Structure 1
Amino acid sequence: MVWNVYFEIAALMISVVLMLSDLWKKHLPFRSWNYFAWLLSLQIICCIFDIISCGMAIRPARYSIRIHYLINIIYYISYIMEIWSFAIFTIAMTGKSKSIRRTTWFVIALPYLVSFISVLITPFTHMFFYIDSEGVYHRGWAYYYTWLTFLAFYILLPLAYAWFYKVHMAPYRMMYTIGFWALSLTGMLLQGFIFTDVLLEGIFNTAAILIIYLNIQNPSQFTDADTGLYNQWALGEVIDEKLEYGDPIDISVIGIENFPVLESIYGRRKLMRVLHSIADEITEQVKGVNLFYMHRGRFALLFNKNTNHKQIEHAIRRRFEMPWGEEDGKVTFKIHITHLDEDVPKMSIREIFDSLEEGLRNAEMKDNEVTEIISAQRIEEIRDGIKVEHAVSKAIRERRIRVAFQPIYSTKKERIISVEALARLVDDELGIIEPDVFIPIAEKNGTIGFIGSQVFEQVCSFIRERDMEDLGVRFIEVNLSPIQCKSGELVSDLFNLMDRYEIDPRQINFEITESAMTDGKILNEMMNKIIQRGSTFSLDDYGTGYSNLVELLDLPFKIVKIDKSLVWSYFNGTSDVLPDIIKTFSIRGYEIVAEGVETHNMAEKLRDMGCDYLQGFYFSKALPADQLVSYVYNNRRLRIMEEMRL
């Protein structure tokens, strides 16, 4: 039988070009990249021996039967190994091959081993094929059964595995995985059942490999265009695989000081040329390291096993003492280095990147030539912060942010006349999470607006469901974060909630900290819009920021709340400015709230200084809504009983 080999020759030529291109480009230390190189090699071997065997079939009598068997056995073994490599490559792309137990691997490999052995013994059994006395090739008695079982197993298994772990694969990878298996299967079916005299499997397999190369293994998506190095995405992929397989991670980050300023001075184009030369020199001179360009003048060095990072860091420091660039435009950089040792336990990419970012900031603040070492304790703290962040996101998603109300005492009326609404978070795993912990995290990741919205809605619900006049509560104080104050939709969102719950805006007093005053004009406009509806504003936590007093006086605050740190520093004798601060604001018509009141003596002295309101544990901690109502009524009853005794 004579086969048409033109498609197979084309497949061989394309595969060789892909191999040369793959060898020329840099490789990331991915297991899947190693599998791909092996897969491409097997495809070339398959094409070569398929073409040779077909050429021998034209004049079979010229060659001995042993040669016929040898060439065909090599072809079938390489083809079996290629399909096996396809399957392993697919499993490796999920990043979850580490989770497969040894017994499961044995089951996965069993059809491959059976087929491999069957091909080797086929000269005696004629299972796959046989060569007659004239040297003519014939398919064996078990060819279709064995081949279809083998192919079905190694096509369905990796696809099922990829589908099961699809959440761990990028959507485009899943799509291309299905695509290259569909192409490969199409080639098998066409050659096996329709065009039996045309070699189509090779060209279809090559097309499938081309899909992998261009869309999955393509190094350009992992490469930084300016420096030619692999980028932060590539670094994340490498670290993710190392974490999955339990491989050691020994990494340093080099940061160029004041990089944005240098960009504005020298221009981005020139600076990027210099960075490219830095990348080339470090790559050429430093061995045992994978170099990545992260962003904003930061390089990551991922050290191979048994590489001395201290020597490399020292050499890089010495090199950066000299200028970089061409003679007509040399640039000198000051660098800082942080290092995360392989012995420090690591659990996620996020904690690694966060710790490196923080380590570099610390190195810049210390401003010395000592590498900032990231400790296991700091990694644990960052890990705890990530857990809190997840808990916050979960609570927001499930609307589990709760509100507690802390009473505020009027020194003139001698009773509770307002309360402050405070966010509270209880997580199923972490338990009670203090506001001092989760509020800064929510402000950092931008979820504080969602927390503020849920808190304000619960405040509106509280006001609608209770008789505020009977409680004797004039208004409820609600905190607005600096992030919320920058939102152009804040005013409409607040008004919509007040309208929905049909509450009087005069029953709301909003609190804003000094840190929200970065743009006084925008803040002033926002405050005046809300004041026009009847609500008022307090300056919260005065004394913790660095605002100019003139700027404060320009904003329409009604109340100034003095932070507990100022109150405590006065009563423990470390500062005596508190009376002057109270006097300064009082003579300008502001009402004064002192926070952090914990004793009767503090309450008496603060009242004598001129504070209008007092807030702190001396009166009450923050209480859930029902407990607050009971507290207010009990407080009123006790006061009436005291008046009756008098």
Structure 2
Amino acid sequence: MWNYSLILPDFIILFTFLVYYFAHPRLPIKLNRRFLFILIVNIITITSDVVSSLALENASYFSSCALRVFNTIFFFFFILRSLCFFLFIEDVLDLHSKRKSLLSLIKHLVFIFSELIAFSNFFFDTIFSISATCIYTRGSFYNLIYICAFYYLALAFLQILFHRKKVASPLFVALLSFNLVLSVGYIFRILFPQYLVMNFFALLSIIIIFITFENPIYFLSSKTKAFNKSALHAILKEYECKRSPLVLAFVIRNYNELREIYSPAQMDRGISLISLFLMKKYPRLLLFYLRDGRFVLMGQDNSKSDKIRESDKIREEISMRFSHGWRAGSDVDLYLEPKFVQFADGIDFSNSKKISSALFAAFKEAENLESVNILITDETLKGIEETTRIKRAVEYAVENNSVEMFLQPLMDSKDYKLAGAEALARIRDEKGNLIPPGLFIPIAEKNGRINSMGEQMFEKACEFIHNHDIAKMGISWINVNLSPIQFLRPDLNKRFSQILEKYKVPAEKIHLEITEESMIDYALLQKQIQSMRSSGFQFVLDDYGSGYSNVSRLKRCPFINVKLDMEIVRDYFNAPDKILPTMVQTFKQMNFTVTAEGVETLEMVESMKNIGCDFLQGYYFSKPLPAEEFAKKYGIQ
């Protein structure tokens, strides 16, 4: 009556997955528990399908009551399987909420109603009927199992499409694929009821889930048996602090240098030994290895005393073990020093991104400090939150072309009249307040937005020159800053030249400021400057004295102006000596004009004028002003 040819392979593969699941380290996260539940439900569903089908084929050996029980159990798990796959999708998309929505209520009502109908078959002929002579026939509610299944599939497709931005493209395709496979399986079951084929399609969906989401290799470090960075993000994402968490991290001091000294093979052996020690010593804790000598232990804090935290005790034990060498070979002992990172009491772990950012920031700090213990506090998390807020502001400003151009005047030291201006980038937060450039510029450089931001500033400066009579203001040029990252672009000359052409602005009206950081790669500096000078651009060296000052290299660079960093200007004003005046005269003999930044008082202005500075810039004359406000203030000249 029924074809069982696919059942045995289904069983073998499902049990293989089950064995594989328990044979490898698994994160105690909801997604893994859901996958295990899917495996168990599918095994029970296939078993009950075979048992009920065989019982019906051999009805003479069973009572009608037994046949009714076998088939009712099958339909119960058949319906449950539909829900399991849908809930797995919700876990992947992270759609669970503490507040129960109407949609969530309807979802469970459909399941409960369907299961009640299935259970009612113990007493009534709803989904199927068993006659007194043990003849099986479909009941009036039989198609409810398909209605329920396609309801969950339709809901799943809607959720996947609506929340597609929550997952990467390969995961999005995988979610669509295994739902499509399930849909085909249900259609085949409707068309070919004599074949027990639905279980095969469910198995195909499980294989897709395993390959994409559940392969433990994705969450394990290749050098150790510890979990990796992806696993740490996954466990933090759903960490629930019902009890105080224990999080202890450490990084091996000077790891990369030691890797060169001891050799990569020996350091890898040492890392494996450290991992093995930690897993054996603390089996109840999860161990993560995050590369570059970074380890994290995580679990629940079982401290019995408020005075002695368990993490402190573990830290002391690990320090004691590190006081001895790690045998990485027959005659090689690695002597390593751990630098610890701990969380202060009462830290809120509900925001996984903030906790993860704080942890990696602390690792970086530990690598650069002599301290052997760094404590992450609420202030640390507030700093992370502030950085995140600024990142959002940078993203919004760049994507919406809302980086504002402020202008600060450059005054001629001879008559204190306006000679030029410097274009300065400004962005605002969600409340409209200006964010200091010292906060957003480093973030824009790290996340790669500085290129777009710098190009916006260059274009806004060109637009300003196009729309205003800068000669009437007394301005001969506007300085635009180039970050070291932006200066690396090989197409910088082409892009800037196109913008100049767009606004019909002569290249000599824009002076490009670069800092001493850009001079580290001298060959690239020369190549880029020569390329852009051929298009008419002129260059200014900004913040001289704040970095790698080198007069001999300046002599070979075609700068037209050198801007003295405000710190050396202040230092000279507070304690005059012969160094700065000599330096200014040297620049002038090299045919550079000199600008003093940060002049804030009349005394500083006169002091910089007396030592020979050609231009002056600072709050004494004006703070940076919004472009249009600057135009109104100086447009009458």
Question: Please, what TM-score do these two structures have when normalized by structure 1?
Answer: 0.90
Aligned to 1:227: 224
**Deviation larger for 608-617 or 468-477:** 468-477
Within the alignment, does 1:257 sit opposite 2:259 as a pair?
A: no
Aligned to 2:58: 59
Secondary structure (helix, strand or coil) at the match of 2:324 reads coil
Question: In angstroms, what is the RMSD of aligned CA positions?
Answer: 2.7
Q: Equivalent residues in 2 for 1:442-453 (5 A)?
A: 442-453=444-455
Deviation at 1:37, TM superposition (A): 0.6
User: Which one of 169, 173, 197 corresponds to residue 167 of structure 2?
Assistant: 169
* Partner Cα separation in structure 1 for residue 201 and residue 386 of structure 2: 50
Query: CA, structure 1 residues 45+506, in 2 after alignment: closer, same or farther (shift >3 Å)?
Result: closer
Deviation at 1:232, TM superposition (A): 1.2
Deviation at 1:138, TM superposition (A): 2.9
Deviation at 1:95, TM superposition (A): 0.8
User: Which one of 227, 237, 246 corresponds to residue 240 of structure 1?
Assistant: 237
Letter in 2 for 1:258: N
- Show CA shifts across 1:50-100 (max 9, x none): 222223233322223333233223222222222222222222221111255
Deviation at 1:119, TM superposition (A): 2.7
User: Which one of 499, 508, 519 corresponds to residue 510 of structure 2?
Assistant: 508
Q: Is the 8 A contact 1:239 1:249 kept in 2?
A: no
Unaligned stretches of 5+ residues in structure 2: 304-309
* Partner Cα separation in structure 2 for residue 239 and residue 89 of structure 1: 19
- Show CA shifts across 1:220-261 (max 9, x none): 222332323322122222222338x99976533321222222
Letter in 1 for 2:176: I
* Partner Cα separation in structure 2 for residue 128 and residue 156 of structure 1: 22
User: Which one of 590, 594, 597 corresponds to residue 595 of structure 1?
Assistant: 597
Query: CA, structure 1 residues 133+356, in 2 after alignment: closer, same or farther (shift >3 Å)?
Result: same
Aligned to 2:126: 127
- Show CA shifts across 1:138-158 (max 9, x none): 3333222x3233223332233
Aligned to 1:374: 376
Q: Is the 8 A contact 2:3 2:195 kept in 1?
A: yes
**Deviation larger for 521-530 or 375-384:** 521-530
Q: Is the 8 A contact 1:355 1:379 kept in 2?
A: yes
Aligned to 1:294: 290
- Show CA shifts across 1:96-133 (max 9, x none): 11255166544322232223233333132111223323
Aligned to 2:270: 274
Within the alignment, does 1:329 sit opposite 2:325 as a pair?
A: no
* Partner Cα separation in structure 1 for residue 3 and residue 345 of structure 2: 56
Letter in 2 for 1:336: K
Deviation at 1:448, TM superposition (A): 1.6
* Partner Cα separation in structure 2 for residue 487 and residue 225 of structure 1: 35
Aligned to 1:316: 318
User: Which one of 348, 356, 360 corresponds to residue 357 of structure 1?
Assistant: 360
Question: Please, what TM-score do these two structures have when normalized by structure 2?
Answer: 0.91
Letter in 2 for 1:318: M
Q: Is the 8 A contact 1:191 1:201 kept in 2?
A: yes
Aligned to 1:644: none
Secondary structure (helix, strand or coil) at the match of 1:503 reads coil
Letter in 2 for 1:12: F
Deviation at 1:350, TM superposition (A): 4.2
Letter in 2 for 1:151: A
- Show CA shifts across 1:395-423 (max 9, x none): 11111122222111112244221211212
Secondary structure (helix, strand or coil) at the match of 2:396 reads helix
Q: Is the 8 A contact 1:251 1:342 kept in 2?
A: no
Aligned to 2:490: 488
Letter in 1 for 2:259: E
Letter in 2 for 1:188: Y
- Show CA shifts across 1:577-610 (max 9, x none): 5444434434544322212222222222322222
* Partner Cα separation in structure 2 for residue 626 and residue 171 of structure 1: 44
Secondary structure (helix, strand or coil) at the match of 1:367 reads coil
Q: Is the 8 A contact 1:9 1:47 kept in 2?
A: no
* Partner Cα separation in structure 2 for residue 349 and residue 121 of structure 1: 45
Query: CA, structure 1 residues 326+134, in 2 after alignment: closer, same or farther (shift >3 Å)?
Result: farther
Letter in 1 for 2:356: F
Q: Is the 8 A contact 1:251 1:341 kept in 2?
A: no
Query: CA, structure 1 residues 606+183, in 2 after alignment: closer, same or farther (shift >3 Å)?
Result: closer
Aligned to 1:434: 436
Query: CA, structure 1 residues 450+191, in 2 after alignment: closer, same or farther (shift >3 Å)?
Result: closer
User: Which one of 185, 188, 192 corresponds to residue 186 of structure 2?
Assistant: 188
* Partner Cα separation in structure 1 for residue 331 and residue 135 of structure 2: 74
Query: CA, structure 1 residues 212+247, in 2 after alignment: closer, same or farther (shift >3 Å)?
Result: farther
Aligned to 1:609: 611
Secondary structure (helix, strand or coil) at the match of 1:303 reads strand
Q: Is the 8 A contact 1:39 1:86 kept in 2?
A: yes
Deviation at 1:518, TM superposition (A): 0.6
Figure out how many residues of one structure are paired with residues of the other and give that number.
630
**Deviation larger for 251-260 or 339-348:** 339-348
Letter in 1 for 2:395: S
* Partner Cα separation in structure 2 for residue 179 and residue 38 of structure 1: 20
Letter in 1 for 2:252: I
Query: CA, structure 1 residues 624+89, in 2 after alignment: closer, same or farther (shift >3 Å)?
Result: closer
Deviation at 1:40, TM superposition (A): 0.8
* Partner Cα separation in structure 2 for residue 252 and residue 301 of structure 1: 5
* Partner Cα separation in structure 2 for residue 417 and residue 547 of structure 1: 27
